[in-house]
Amino acid sequence: MQQAFSKQLIESQETERKRIAAELHDGLGQSLIIICNRALLSLNAPDNHERAIAQLGEIATATSDAIAEVKEISYNLRPYQLDRLGLTKALEAMVSALAESCHIKFNVEIDELDSVFSKTDEINLYRIIQESVNNIVKHSGATEAAVAVKKNSHNIQITIHDNGKGFNLAEIEGRRGIGLIGISERARILGAKHRIHSVPGQGTTVGIKLTLKDASDEH
């Protein structure tokens, strides 16, 4: 089972690398070609000021598109909100943005988490919660959901619950999607215990319990 899990994880990582490479080639690469070509058109007709101004406008638009595309690709690698807002506010902003995109009422309680984790662990915790909330929005059919991240001196308890249609865990065992595999693997990397409880017609609960390192271990 461990070998099969590792194989599937490696395959998913390779798929992600190919996706990013394709986005860089097809999207960003095309934008840079457009910018280059429009700059050359202006240089080849230096006396045509109207044309040059029009080309500069198009270059500005293409550059803005390229910047937006880079931000999107970068977000998939490391959410920029983590550096700009800190982990706590970044989680709140992410859940809020997803909640605004659907008709599910979210109740969110997130304790202060800044400076608790390394940058790598911040990404893993963020992605666990992001994937869990994404699953609710995409698949649950819920009307209400709750995201709670509670911290004390010894541990952090994450509980994500929805009142949606749920599912039978036994029926999907062995054919879980990349999302659930990602949650399991990221929890393992964090050294956390995780549990997914779901019953058809009674919603789904994802629980993550992470024991904090002693202060003496952090330095």
This prediction has a pTM of: 0.70
Tell me the C-alpha distance between 31 and 62, whole Å: 6
Tell me the C-alpha distance between 97 and 159, whole Å: 19
- Per-residue pLDDT at 217: 47
**Residue 150: strand, helix, or coil:** strand
What string of pLDDT tens digits covers the 219 residues of the chain? Answer: 666 666 666 666 666 677 677 667 666 776 787 788 778 877 887 788 887 888 888 888 888 888 877 777 777 778 888 988 999 999 999 999 899 889 999 999 999 999 999 988 999 999 999 999 999 998 899 999 999 999 999 999 999 999 999 988 777 665 555 567 778 888 988 999 999 999 999 999 999 999 987 643 444
- 81-217 is classed CATH 3.40.50.150: no
Tell me the C-alpha distance between 34 and 32, whole Å: 5
User: DSSP label at 103?
Assistant: S
56, 46 Cβ separation under 8 angstroms: no
Token pair in block for residue 175:
């054919």
- Per-residue pLDDT at 173: 61
CA distances from 9 to 19, 31, 32, 100, 146 (A): 15, 32, 33, 31, 29
Expressed in angstroms, the distance from the first to the final Cα of the chain is 36
